[in-house]
Amino acid sequence: MDDAHNIQYSNLQDNAQAEQELDNAQATMAAAEEEEATSTSKAEYGSGIPSPLQSPERACSPSVVLASIPEGPSEEASIRQLQALEDPLYLLHNAQNVKVYDLVDFLLFKYQTKAFTTKAEMLETIGREYDEYYPLIFSEASECMKLVFGLDIVEVDPSVHSYVLVTALGITYDGMLTDVQGMPKTGVLIVVLGVIFMKGNYVSEDIIWEMLNNIGLFGGMDPYIHRDPRKLISEEFVQEGYLEYRQVPNSDPPSHVFLWGPRAFAETTKLKILQFFASITKTHPRAYPEKYAEALRDEIDRVEAWIFQQMLRHL
């Protein structure tokens, strides 16, 4: 099916009407472009949160943060740390990092209790002395909530700056009832869907388990997100209809691949997933031309299907 989509896209380039359809679909990217401009503006602050040397999920993952603390630093390392402490900018960035995690912890509590929050509450959480840096801290905490936990912070009332947290990209699942710890699992689901899409719409188990390790789920066991992430993906996501788990025909020994399930297609889109994936790599969806074309084709197909359904309803 993917090859057919790619062939369709190649043929569309010589068809004026189809080009107009693509232009219309590209209009849906306006919001993404505005978001990209905002991200570029944020980068000009020179924030060390997260470090550009690590992915946003790893920068925000509590397991990665804990693993990065040395057990017994050498004397040379200690001297370097003391020299760094003399740098006021280092002190500022370090303090901001702490405040980002404080705010993330606070926002998780608000989501777990299904409660609204306000700018005033968040300022109280990070400390009024950080009022000047609140926009940067709030922005980084928001990004962390989305990339790690799959949660968007939505402003409800601009006049009082009140907010609510909701699952991202149209996905209705958060996995909070499937694990005693009650941590949102939407972020893991979105990353898995993204890997599947970027790898050609199906992906082997080995690649998924490698991805788990890369985002800080360390060999498939990380009690912070889930006591058994492998079970979360291969059983719970499958049972919820977000993934399909298929055996590769004639494979010996038997091997399996993951694909998008019907619920994933119903609740989100390839374009939304691509935008999310691009935000992880700090790029734009157009940086992945083949996937961008496939995502636009998917948007056109969805619009055409919706129009057809509307026509049938009025017959």
Percentage of residues in the chain with pLDDT exceeding 70? 64
| Mean pLDDT value across residues 235-262 | 92
The answer to whether residue 164 scores a pLDDT higher than 80 is: yes
Which one, of 223, 170, 76, 3, lies nearest residue 231 by Cα? 223
CB-based burial label for 309 (10 Å; 0-12, 13-18, 19+): exposed
- How far is residue 11's CA from residue 297's CA, in Å, rounded to a whole number? 12
| Per-residue pLDDT reduced to its tens digit, 103-145 | 988 999 999 999 999 999 999 999 988 899 899 999 888 988 8
Q: What angle do CA 131, 132, 138 make, to 5 degrees?
A: 70
Q: How confident is the model at residue 52 (pLDDT cuts 50, 70, 90)?
A: very low
The whole-number pLDDT of residue 244 equals 96
Q: How confident is the model at residue 197 (pLDDT cuts 50, 70, 90)?
A: very high
Q: How confident is the model at residue 196 (pLDDT cuts 50, 70, 90)?
A: very high
The whole-number pLDDT of residue 107 equals 93
Q: How confident is the model at residue 178 (pLDDT cuts 50, 70, 90)?
A: low
CB of 283 closer than 8 Å to CB of 297: no
The whole-number pLDDT of residue 170 equals 93
How far is residue 30 from each of residues 37, 39, 42, 77, 287, measured CA to CA in Å? 11, 14, 19, 47, 16
- In eight-state DSSP terms, residue 216 is I
- How far is residue 205's CA from residue 18's CA, in Å, rounded to a whole number? 37
- Between 152-166, 213-227, 282-296, the lowest mean confidence (pLDDT) is in 213-227
The whole-number pLDDT of residue 254 equals 86
Range with the largest mean pLDDT of 4-18, 39-53, 107-121, 226-240: 107-121
| Mean pLDDT value across residues 300-307 | 89
Kindly report the number of other CB atoms within 10 A of residue 44's CB atom. Answer: 7
Looking at every residue in the chain, the average pLDDT score rounds to: 74
The answer to whether residue 17 scores a pLDDT higher than 70 is: no
